[in-house]
Structure formats: C-alpha cells, structure tokens
Amino acid sequence: MLEFAEALGRHPFLQQALLAGLLASGACGVMGAYVVARRISYLAGAIAHSVLGGMGAARYLAVVQGWDWLHPLYGAIAAALAAAFLIGLVTLRASQREDTIIAAIWAVGMAGGILFIAATPGYDVELMSYLFGNILMVTPGDLWLMLALDLVVLAVGFLFYNQLLAVCFDQEFARLRGVNSDLYFLLLLGLTALTVVLLSTVVGVILVIALLTLPAAIATNFCRRLWQIMALGALIAMAFTSGGLALSYGPDLPAGAVIIVLAGAVYLLVALGVWWRGRAKTHPRSSYGVG
Amino acid sequence: MSLIELKEVTFSYDGQPVLERVSLEVVPGEFLALVGPNGGGKTTLLKLILGLLAPQEGVVSVFGQPPAKARGRIGYLPQHAFVDPGFPVSVAEVVLMGRLGPGAGLGPWPRRDRRAALKALEQVEAADLAGRGFSSLSGGQRQRVLIARALAADPELLLLDEPTAGVDPRGEKDVLELLAGLNSRVTVLLVTHDLHFVSPYVNQVACVNRRVVLHPTQEVDDELIAGLYGRPMRRVRHDRHLGGGDCSHA
C-alpha cells in the first residue's frame, strides 16, 4: 500500500486510474441503489454484456475502416443505450419468455463484439481489456468523457428522483398519478446503461454487475431511504475502486479483478455480520438463563 | 348524478370472460363493498373504473368522463401484495407519491406538497410515523400509510383493493372505522373477502361473480354470507328483493 502511495505521486497514469474509479463511483452509487431496490440486476447484467458488441464494432470501424474519431466508449454508449431500450420494451410488452429474450440479448451482444474484435488486428489485448477492464490505460480524454457521463447520470437522477422512486416502488400507482411509468422505466434503464459504460472502463463488461450492485446491497443494511443508500453506496464504491487499485499495484495483479474480489469479500462479511446480529436478537442469551 | 357508471360492460382475459354485461351505478357519498369469490372479477372491476383496463364491450364513466381522464380525482390503494414491504423508503416519501402528477415539478418536493402529505397522514392518525422507514411498519400501519398516499391528492373517490388484507383483526377494525370516518367527505368503494367484518360499516354491497348484483346492507344477512362462502354457489338464493340474478351465475 505504501508503495502505491509513493507511486501515485510519480505516475500520472495511476492518478488517472484513481480518478476514473472515483468518477465512476458517483454514478455507481446512484444507479446501483435503483437497480438493487427495483430488483433489476439481471437486466443490468444483460445491458453490460451487450456493451461488448458496441466496443467491438467501434474498434473495428476505427482500425479497419479508418474512422479514427470513433472511440470504443462511443460504441459502448450506443450499444448500452440500444440494449437498454430493447430490454425495456421486452420487459414492458412481452408477456411470456421475457427472461429468455433478455438472456439472448445478453449473449448475442457479446458474440457480436467478439466477431468484430476477431476481425480487427490486435485481437487478444483489446478483448481482455474490454472484458476485464484496464483502468491503468485510462487517458485524460477518457476522463473527460467519464466526467460528462457521470454528470448526466447524477443530474437526471437528482432531478427525477421523486418520479423514479415512485416508479420503482409502485409502477401502477405512479401511472395512476399521471406519471408516464413506461417512459421513466426506460429512463431508469438508460441511466443504468450509461453507468454500466462508466464502470466497464474500470472493471470491464463481465465484472460490471458486481461493482454496480454490491455497494448498494451493502448500504441497504445500514440505510432506510433510497437516497441514503445512493450516498453510502457511492462512498463504498469509491473505497472499493481505490482500495482495489492500491492492493493490486504492489503484486502487479489485474486491478479490475482485485476490486471485484474486495467488493465480494466485504459484502460477505457484512452479510455474515447482519445475520449474526439478527441471530443474537432472536436468541438473546438471557432466554437461556436460569428459571 | 352518478359518480361511477358502468353500462353493459364485458371484459375477458384471453377469451375467458371475467365480467359479462355488468351495469353498476355509484352515487356520491356511498360506501360500497365489492364481494365475491376469487377470480370473480372484483379487482378487474376496480381496474376498469381506474382505466387500467379497457372493456371489450360497454362503457365505463367516472365523474361523467372516461376513466383515464378522471384518475386525478381518484385515490387508489392497490392489493398489498403488490407493494414490496422491504423497499428502502420513508413513510413521508410514500405518502408524497400521492402528490405526483403532470403538475409535479422536478427536484425536491416543495413545502406545499410536504404539508399536504402530512395532512393526509394526520387524517389516518399516523402523523407520528412520517420519519419512519416503510419496511419497519406493522401490516396495519403500512395499510394506513398507503391509505394516506391515496388521500394525499384530495380525491373525491377512494378505491381500495382489500384494505384489510395482511392486517391483524384489531387493526382491521381500525382501518374500517377510519374509512367510515372518511366516508363523510369521500365516496368509498372497497374490495373485500370478509363481508361479515365489513357489513356493519358499508351501506351497499355488490356481489361480483361475472355479473354484479347490488344489495343495500340491510339485506346482507347471514344467508347471503353463508351463500357466498359457505355453500356451493349455485345454491345461493338472495334474489328475492331485487328480482334478478344472484351472485353465482354458475
């Protein structure tokens, strides 16, 4: 850890990596809370995996077709929003086989990405960094784009908090109150999509789902209101991304994987702690006392 | 003027008729209970009045308008199973959802809405719960809070889908007394399984089982109750007073 603190002062790439983690954590806290409360982790997972299709297509067009301006993140944003829209429509309209269709979007998005990447020179390195993230490769240009995404998610999440909360809590009642529930549900998925893109630069598309949901799931144990879960979840996500980065630096481990293992371990400890406390409450020692 | 009017309404799910040629009129100030067996069409009837479902045949009008246009004047309590009791939200936030509407702005709730929500909580005698977490409440408290949410927009009509489900017997009585009190200002229509419990409070009962038959409460005697739930439906005979159809139409 000390080694990391020293290196942080010397290497701009480490500072950029740290900043990327902190930026992504803001949106992660806000949208993770919605995703966990509304129980749509599975939909978020499908969006995350289909992001690979967009990244692969953008990379292919940039390298093979010469569209130099086309950053992989642009492709990721487009694919994530398209997947969110499609999954939203399926969830709202399909009466049967909803889970099958969503699983198909999940896999087909990935398969498309792999085909594009296979057709692009530099196959292995690209694929690994999209799948598992490469936070150390984040550039100042990426950071600006991440900042913009973060601000969009935070601003919309703040302005439409009342509406989104109502739609998550009771969609039918919100509709009766004149709130366009379907539209807000699509907005919720759209914001989730942007957050997924942000987080995928940190941990990659496969590991995103854990970083999106675990901080909110941990915070849920300590908060009674959604905005509190958002705030605490963002702080926890910051601790995970920074802590994971620091832990990975010394032994030269993949940062994304260390962040996720750290998040999973903390979640497990908290869940055990909560279970232990609940057990202590239902079986207080005094009840075994004399008498 | 009738507040709710259904004329010859027919509704079916996937070709299975749920309600057939139903006519019903509710006048202002009424306290009406919809009773009937599971799958008899009670909730469907509520959803038709709310405009969440559209009839295949017939006309539904509320306040003389199509239901979807009248929604702003209706307070609604959904079946309790539809609300996630573990959702991280405060009581005040739940009640404020009743203040949403096309006119609600963006960002934090203005003071006017907060005051209206608190007033709604006072009406159900639950103002002290405002700061509590919704998930920490008992079943009876939760129903009270959801009734306050329905009241928050000052509705002229209250539709409640099984308001006493998931509530212990003492809380059940409290909820019904609360609704009877509100009935002095608001027309109340509730769906229930427990006619015996409800009958002292309501002034009309509608039997819903594909058809709808209205009874003033005086007629809701033990025979009707036993007929509805105690014996096979085909043997129900409570058509003497009204002279037309019974609750079963089996």
Q: pLDDT for A104-139, tens place per residue? A: 999 999 999 999 988 988 766 778 888 888 888 888
Report ipTM for this prediction.
0.85
Residue A208 lies inside a defined structural domain of this protein: yes
Average pLDDT over residues A146-161: 94
B149: closest chain A residue by CA = A173
Statement: residue B240 has pLDDT above 60: no
Token digits for A131? 């799948």
Residue B88 near chain A (CB below 8 Å): yes
A160 belongs to a structural domain: yes
From the list A209, A181, A201, the residue with the least C-alpha distance to A31 is: A209
**DSSP label at A97?**
-
* Predicted pLDDT at A37: 93
For residue B227, pLDDT beyond 90: no
Q: For residue A107, what pLDDT is reported?
A: 93
For B5-47, how does the pLDDT look when each residue is reduced to its tens digit (9 = 90+)? Answer: 999 999 998 888 888 888 999 999 999 999 888 888 888 999 9
Q: How many CA atoms lie within 13 A of B199 on its CB side?
A: 16
With bands split at pLDDT 50, 70 and 90, how would you rate the model's confidence at B246?
A: very low
Which of A158, A174, A226 lies closest to B97 in CB terms? Answer: A174
Q: What is the predicted pLDDT for the residue at A136?
A: 87
In a domain, A181, yes or no: yes
- Domain assignment present for residue A290? The answer is no
Q: Residue B2 phi/psi, 5° resolution?
A: -85, 145
pLDDT of B142 higher than 50: yes
Residue A183 has pLDDT above 60, yes or no: yes
Q: Which residue has the higher pLDDT, A80 or B249?
A: A80
Task: Collect all residues of chain B within an 8 Å Cβ-Cβ radius of residue A224.
Answer: 88-90, 132-133, 135-136
> Cα separation of A78 and A54, whole Å?
7
**Confidence band for B151, pLDDT divided at 50, 70 and 90:** very high
What pLDDT does residue A265 have?
A: 97
Contact between B98 and A162 using a beta-carbon 8 Å cutoff: no
User: Which of A158, A177, A154, A156 lies closest to A167 in space, CA to CA?
Assistant: A177
Contact A179 B88 (CB under 8 A): no
pLDDT band at residue A72 using 50, 70 and 90 as cut-offs: confident
Number of domains in chain A: 1
User: Across chain A, which distance is largest between two alpha carbons, in Å?
Assistant: 84
Q: What is the mean pLDDT of residues A160-170?
A: 94
Domains of chain B are 4-100+109-249 (3.40.50.300)
Nearest to A162 among B52, B109, B153 (CB): B109
- Cβ-in-10-Å burial (0-12, 13-18, 19+) of B201 comes to middle
- A28: domain range? 2-281
How far B102 CA lies from chain A's nearest CA (Å)? Answer: 6
Distance from CA of B132 to the nearest CA of A (A): 8
To the nearest whole Å, the CA of B129 is away from the closest chain A CA by 14
Higher pLDDT, B75 or B227: B75
Q: What is the pLDDT of residue B39?
A: 81
Report the C-alpha gap between A216 and A230 in whole angstroms: 7
The pLDDT tens digits for A236-268 are: 999 999 999 999 998 989 999 999 999 999 999
Chain A within 8 Å of B131 (Cβ-Cβ)? no
B97, A170: Cβ pair inside 8 Å?
yes
Is A88 part of any domain?
yes
Residue A288 falls inside a structural domain: no
pLDDT tens per residue across span B188-210: 999 987 777 777 888 888 888 88
Q: What is the CATH number of the domain that holds A28?
A: 1.10.3470.10
DSSP state letters, chain B: --SEEEEEEEEEETTEEEEEEEEEEE-TT-EEEEE--TTSSHHHHHHHHHTSS--SEEEEEETTB-HHHHGGGEEEE--GGGS-TT---BHHHHHHGGG-STT--SSSPPHHHHHHHHHHHHHTT-GGGTTSBGGGS-HHHHHHHHHHHHHTT--SEEEEESTTTT--HHHHHHHHHHHHHHTTTSEEEEE-S-HHHHTTT-SEEEEEESEEEEEEGGG--HHHHIIIIIS-GGG----TTT-S--S---
Most confidently predicted of A80-94, A258-272, B106-120? A258-272
Name the minimum distance, in Å, from the CA of B142 to any CA of chain A.
14
Order of strands, sheet of B16-26, starting from the edge strand that comes earlier in the sequence: B16-26, B4-13, B57-62
Q: How confident is the model at residue B242, as a pLDDT?
A: 37
Query: What's the residue count for chain B?
Result: 250
Q: What are phi and psi of B192, to 5 degrees?
A: -150, 155
Average pLDDT value for chain A = 90
- pLDDT surpassing 70 at residue B237: no
Residue A289 lies in a domain: no
* Residue A85 belongs to some domain of the structure: yes
SS3 A95: coil
Mean pLDDT of A185-208: 93
Residue B228 confidence (pLDDT): 57
